[in-house]
Amino acid sequence: MTIEAKIEAPKSDLDKQKAYAESLSAKGFKYTFAVGTAFVESMRNTHYKHTGTALDELIDNSIEAGATQVCIALGYSGKSTATPDALAVIDDGHGMPKGMLQPAAAWGGTHRHNEENRSGFGRFGFGLPSASVNQARRYSIFSITEGGNWRSLTVDLDDIAAGKYTDNTDTVRMPDEVEGTEPPKWVMEHISEHMPGGKLTHGTIVLWEKMDRIKWKTTKGMRDNLLQHFGVMFRNYLQQVGLKFDGTSIEPLDPLFLTPGFRYFDEDEDRAKALEPAEIEVKSKRNPDKKVKIAIRYALFPHRFFSRDKDKDAQHGNSNNRFKVANDHRGVIVCRMGRQIDVVERTPWRGLEKFRNDDRYWALEIDFPAELDEEFTIANSKQGVVMSDRIWDLLQDAGVERVIRTLRKEVSAMQKADASKPEDPEKDRASEASMKESEKFRRKRAGGTSAEREAKAREQFEQYVKQKAKEQKRPEETVRNEAQEEEAKHPYKVEFASHPNAPFYRVIQRGAMKVLEINMSHRFYTDLYASAAANRFLRAGLEVMLFSVGEAELDALGNQDKSNFYHVEKIAWSERLEVALDVLHRFGHDEDVVDSEDDNIAAE
């Protein structure tokens, strides 16, 4: 699937800007900030999730101006580079023509308004001023077009508040463009170091100062969060535009981890599995003759995709770099023209109302064209989408709901398969170790080891050796020696087998080894032991519990009454437990349990 990451040719875009700026000046347009100084202050509260999403607006503008390189540079007033107090977004796009800086700095000023063909990111004429005042109390635009000089304009909220822009009619005026002012020295230095050719003959700089609302105060904090953020948001554009933050090139990052060469794709040997991508053809409501497409991608991640040490869960310091990305993308990842906008965390579908922890093991992305903005309720801060009922229905018709359910089942199956694996094949399981360790405190039972028990243990051992030798096509003698060695090392051992309709566990003695065999066909295994809600500790606890009961059962060998008691009771417990666990789903708090039949999960 190719995502259309094409923006209009820069030349025609610049021409459109010229025409727009000329039409405003021909009308003798007077710039105001709507009514009074309060307007700008209240615009500061336009919702941006964080500094990164506000900066996305400026990067959008740069890409649309045909930039090949965008640099986000940090400025410092003192010697220390720990905490920046200015930031500049520098691009080598076509720049803004004379007369364009005032509308660009004001709300609603755009040459893109009501374009017949929505082919770019911008639409509202809000991005630049909204993002700027949201983060800083002072913003400037410096721009240069080919063959021209630098022009600039600065808006300072403190000056507005002090009445410096207010004229005698009480109108707050946009300051004029100033001809011939170069950007600050540190910005020029950044340009010579990081922009292609070391200088700008055309391009735009948006400078933020008096930054009072930056989410990450330190340079390090910004780097830690923003390199990844921009990599995700602009992943489909970073081949055509170079993007640097504080001198570091941003690598594209696909949160589906499906794109070779992108960040974390080959973090380790594990790879994401792509499911068949899909496309939905949609009639545009704006242009009923026009048909546009929504593209859909799916990915499924292997069970230990987020673990550093692949023998352990991605917990307690064992999670790799993919983990945070996947956690931030649980839900429907929504892109608009290949640029990520939002992750929708709820669906209207039964049982899928809310995404859960385990949903990090799969990912879903939908990419829509700006033609469908109304259907996705794109707001002017482009921070989020609310999909219309029609879009949800179209997604459902295209199989999205069904695929999500299938993906959840696959995740659940992976988890179940994994639950039976030991944490570290070299070491004892926690339960085996604790049974061994606690054995010395065991009370001596009357009867001790009966002859019957010993005979049975030998028989089990011989049977095991014969079977293994046959399976592995190896001499019995070799297998026997290995088994004896194993037996000496592991007096307790957990094994798994599938026996439909049999009790949920059994404990047998094989030579000197006590073996707990958990029945994978019983609901005890599928719904409790191997459920997503059970962690390693709980599983080890269940093993210890069954070992303890099972050991008493072994001790009963040779005592007919006791032996019969266990035999009969265990069958009764197992049957009762199978049914009760089935019913438990109706009453239990299983919202965090990945159930194999998701349709059964009651709507919240």
Ligand X SMILES: Nc1ncnc2c1ncn2[C@@H]1O[C@H](COP(=O)(O)OP(=O)(O)OP(=O)(O)O)[C@@H](O)[C@H]1O
Report the run of H or E that residue 584 belongs to, with start and end.
Answer: helix 560-587
Closest CB to ligand X among 111 and 329?
111
Cα-Cα-Cα-Cα dihedral sign, residues 489, 490, 496, 501: positive
Residue 372 CB, shortest distance to ligand X, in Å, is 15
Residue 201 CB, shortest distance to ligand X, in Å, is 14
**Is residue 89 helix, strand or coil?**
strand
User: Among ligand X, Mg ion, none, what binds residue 234 when CB lies within 5 to 8 Å by partner kind?
Assistant: none
Residues 170-189 binding ligand X (CB under 6 A) are none
Pick from 43, 104, 352, 387 the residue near ligand X by CB under 6 A: 104
Residue 6 token pair: 């094409």
Residues 455, 459: Cα–Cα separation, whole Å? 6
Closest CB to ligand X among 143 and 519?
143
Residue 509 contacts residue 460 (beta carbons within 8 Å): yes
3-state helix, strand, coil in the chain (%, to 5): 40, 20, 45
Pick from 17, 102, 152, 383 the residue near ligand X by CB under 6 A: 17
| Using rule CB under 6 A, residue 7 touches ligand X | no
Closest CB to Mg ion among 152 and 381?
381
Closest CB to ligand X among 64 and 517?
64
Residue 186 CB, shortest distance to ligand X, in Å, is 19
For 475-508, b/e burial (b = at least 16 CB within 10 A) is eeeebbeebeeeeeebebbbeeeeeeebbbbbbb
Residues 35, 333: Cα–Cα separation, whole Å? 39
User: Among ligand X, Mg ion, none, what binds residue 509 when CB lies within 5 to 8 Å by partner kind?
Assistant: none
Residue 251 contacts residue 238 (beta carbons within 8 Å): yes
Number of residues that bind ligand X (CB under 6 A): 24
Quick note: the x/- pattern for ligand X over 111-130, rule CB under 6 A, is: xx---------xxxxxxxx-
Q: Which residue is nearest to ligand X (CB)?
A: 122
Closest CB to ligand X among 101 and 508?
101
- Positions touching Mg ion (CB under 5 A) are 61, 122, 127
Task: Count CA atoms within 13 Å of residue 110 on its CB side.
Answer: 20
Closest CB to ligand X among 245 and 305?
245
Residue 136 CB, shortest distance to ligand X, in Å, is 15
Name the amino acid, one letter, at 334.
V
Closest CB to Mg ion among 122 and 503?
122
| Using rule CB under 6 A, residue 270 touches ligand X | no
Pick from 109, 183, 369, 550 the residue near ligand X by CB under 6 A: 109
Instruction: List 279's β-bridge partners, or say none.
Output: 295
Residue 240 CB, shortest distance to Mg ion, in Å, is 18
User: Among ligand X, Mg ion, none, what binds residue 97 when CB lies within 5 to 8 Å by partner kind?
Assistant: none
Instruction: Quote the Cα angle for 487-489-490, to 5°.
Output: 65
Phi, psi (rounded to 5 degrees) for 339: -100, 125
Strand-strand pairing, 151-156 and 138-144: antiparallel
Residue 379 CB, shortest distance to ligand X, in Å, is 10
Closest CB to ligand X among 64 and 551?
64
Region of 153 (left: φ > 0; alpha: ψ -120 to 50; beta: rest) is beta
User: Among ligand X, Mg ion, none, what binds residue 504 when CB lies within 5 to 8 Å by partner kind?
Assistant: none
Pick the piece of the chain touching ligand X (CB under 6 A) from 110-118, 350-358, 540-548, 558-566.
110-118
Residues 6 or more apart in contact with residue 318 via CB below 8 angstroms = 307, 308, 309, 312
User: Among Mg ion, ligand X, none, what binds residue 136 when CB lies within 5 to 8 Å by partner kind?
Assistant: none
Residues 194-233 binding ligand X (CB under 6 A) are 204
Pick the piece of the chain touching ligand X (CB under 6 A) from 38-46, 57-65, 328-336, 401-409.
57-65
Closest CB to ligand X among 93 and 351?
93
Pick from 40, 55, 65, 483 the residue near ligand X by CB under 6 A: 65
Residue 151 CB, shortest distance to ligand X, in Å, is 12
Instruction: Catalogue the long-range contacts made by 531-537 (C-beta closer than 8 Å, 24 or more residues apart).
Output: 531/415, 531/593, 531/594, 532/357, 532/358, 532/412, 532/415, 532/592, 532/593, 532/594, 533/590, 533/592, 533/593, 534/419, 535/313, 536/313, 536/423, 536/430, 537/430
Residue 104 CB, shortest distance to ligand X, in Å, is 3
Residues 367-386 binding ligand X (CB under 6 A) are 380
Closest CB to ligand X among 10 and 221?
10
Residue 594 contacts residue 355 (beta carbons within 8 Å): no
Closest CB to Mg ion among 99 and 122?
122
| Using rule CB under 6 A, residue 57 touches ligand X | yes
| Site residues for ligand X per CB under 6 A | 17, 57, 61-62, 65, 91, 93, 96, 100, 104, 109-112, 122-129, 204, 380
